[in-house]
Amino acid sequence: MILFLYIHTKKIDIGIVIVDYERMKRDFEEVLIEWKQQKQRKPLLVQGARQVGKTYTLEKFGREYYSNYVTLDFAKNSDLNRMFEPNLDPKRILQDIELYFGMDIQIENTLIIFDEIQLCPNALTSLKYFYQDFPEIHICASGSLLGVGLSVANFPVGKVQREFLYPMSFFEFLNGIGETRLLHTLQAVEQKTEISGIVHQKASELLNEYLIVGGLPEVVAVYAENRNKLIIAYSLVRKLQNELILSYMDDISKHAGKLKAVRIAALFGNIPDQLAKENKVSRKFTFKGVLPKNSNYSNLEGPIEWLSHAGLIHRVPICNRAQLPLSAYTKANAFVLYLFDVGILGAMLKLDPVVLRDFSFGQFKGFLAENFVLQEFMTTDCKPIYSWRENTAEIEFLISIGSEIIPVEVKAGVNTKAKSLRVFKEKYNPASSLLLSGKIKKQTKDGNLRLPLYLASLFPLLSK
Going 211 to 344 to 305 to 48, the CA torsion angle's sign is negative
Q: At a CB cut-off of 8 Å and minimum separation 6, what does 113 contact?
A: 55, 58, 59, 62, 69, 70, 71, 72, 139, 140, 141, 142
The CATH number of the structural domain formed by 27-164 is: 3.40.50.300
pLDDT bracket for residue 267 (50, 70, 90): very high
183-226 pLDDT, tens digit each: 999 998 876 677 899 999 999 999 999 999 999 999 999 999 99
**Global pTM value:** 0.90
Determine the Cα–Cα distance for residues 8 and 233; give it in Å rounded to an integer.
Answer: 21
Residue 118 near residue 112 (C-beta atoms within 8 A): no
Segment 28-48 mean pLDDT: 95
What integer pLDDT is reported at residue 356 of this predicted model?
A: 80
Q: How far is CA 30 from CA 21, 25, 26, 57, in A?
A: 18, 11, 8, 11
Give the end-to-end CA distance of the chain in Å, rounded to a whole number: 52
58-108 pLDDT, tens digit each: 999 999 999 999 999 999 999 999 999 999 999 999 999 999 999 999 999
- For the chain, the average pLDDT equals 88
Structural domain boundaries in the chain: 27-164, 184-462
Determine what percent of the chain is predicted with pLDDT higher than 90: 70
pLDDT bracket for residue 13 (50, 70, 90): very low
Going 168 to 169 to 175 to 179, the CA torsion angle's sign is positive
Segment 427-451 mean pLDDT: 83
Question: HSE on the CB side for 416, CA within 13 Å?
Answer: 16
Determine the Cα–Cα distance for residues 448 and 464; give it in Å rounded to an integer.
Answer: 11
Is the N-terminal amide bond of 86 cis, ω within 30° of 0?
no
Q: How far is CA 376 from CA 25, 188, 313, 463, in A?
A: 17, 17, 14, 15
Which DSSP symbol is given to 284? S
Q: How far is CA 87 from CA 84, 123, 157, 179, 247, in A?
A: 6, 10, 19, 51, 34
In SS3 terms, 177-212 reads as CCCHHHHHHHHCCCCCCCCCHHHHHHHHHHHHHHHH
Determine the Cα–Cα distance for residues 463 and 85; give it in Å rounded to an integer.
Answer: 52
What integer pLDDT is reported at residue 446 of this predicted model?
A: 66
Residue 41 phi/psi, 5-degree rounding, is -105, 125
